[in-house]
Amino acid sequence: MPRAGSGRVQFTPRTDPPPLSTEEPMMNDPYERSAEYIDIMIADAWDAFDPSLAEALGGVDAVEGTIVDLGAGSGRGVRAVCAALPDDSPVLAVEPSPALRAVLLARVHEDARLRRRVTVDSGDALNTPLPDRIRALLAMNMIGHLPPGQRQELWARVAPRLAPGGRVILNLAPPTAP
Ligand SMILES: C[S@@+](CC[C@H](N)C(=O)[O-])C[C@H]1O[C@@H](n2cnc3c(N)ncnc32)[C@H](O)[C@@H]1O
């Protein structure tokens, strides 16, 4: 059974769980109407993202810490992470949209390797508790959701936690503006 609490779901209890989120669930979900189609609409794009992401993850020299996927959507990113870095290091998938999170949870639950590693969090990039040490942070197809001030706020949270040799990996695909 998953271990769930305050919007964070961990299928396999780990010895190093990140702190629990205390955030309220998202009230206005911009993906409310499109969420059911997002995973199939974004599939072709991920055929191109997968090799580039694998290459970028190959350059992560940090070996300790949590890999964070902000705006994890339907989970294609966490699946790519677990394939590219096939150790057992923890992955935190942050996804505020309830409908997208349902797809994400199903994708994680379906695969024993993902279930072992991935914790799913219902928080928001700006206020969900981040792990003390981040091995890599992904923000694929999501950074355009944040206005410039919020992006600065995010980098200020991430920079002190990024492990030496760690990486922030993002793309500028739409939406490129909030
Ligand atoms: C275009 S989707 C991309 C999903 C996934 N990263 C992918 O590439 O398949 C953008 C994602 O960013 C999420 N998002 C939007 N604003 C966010 C925020 N403030 N914090 C975290 N995630 C956010 C959305 O819920 C959505 O899942």
Cβ-contact 142, 30 below 8 angstroms: no
Class of domain 34-170: alpha beta
Low-confidence winner among 16-20, 132-136, 143-147 (lowest mean pLDDT) = 16-20
- pLDDT given at position 79: 97
Instruction: Look at the chain and count its residues.
Output: 178
- pLDDT given at position 92: 98
Q: What is the DSSP letter of 144?
A: G
Cβ-contact 117, 45 below 8 angstroms: no
Mean pLDDT in residue range 98-126: 96
Q: How far lies 62's CA from each of 12, 18, 29, 72, 164, in Å?
A: 24, 18, 34, 21, 6
Taking the CB of residue 35, how many other CB atoms lie within 10 A of it? 19
- Indicate the pLDDT class of residue 15, thresholds 50, 70 and 90: low
Mean pLDDT in residue range 116-130: 96
β-pairing, 162-170 vs 134-139, is parallel
Whole-number Å distance, alpha carbon 95 to ligand 1 midpoint, is 7
pLDDT at 19 over 60: no
pLDDT in tens, 42-99: 999 999 999 999 999 999 999 999 999 999 999 999 999 999 999 999 999 999 999 9
Q: Which atom of ligand 1 is nearest to the CA of 71?
A: 22
Q: How far lies 144's CA from each of 115, 128, 168, in Å?
A: 29, 18, 15
Q: Which atom of ligand 1 is nearest to the CA of 95?
A: 22
| Residues with C-beta less than 6 Å from any ligand 1 atom | 31, 42, 70-74, 76-77, 94-97, 100, 124-125, 140-142, 145
Mutate to test the pocket of ligand 1, among 29, 145, 151 (most ligand atoms within 8 A of CB): 145
Separation between Cα atoms, residue 155 and residue 163, nearest integer Å: 14
Whole-number Å distance, alpha carbon 28 to ligand 1 midpoint, is 13
**pTM higher than 0.85 for the full model?**
yes
Whole-number Å distance, alpha carbon 113 to ligand 1 midpoint, is 23
H/E segment holding residue 38: helix 35-41
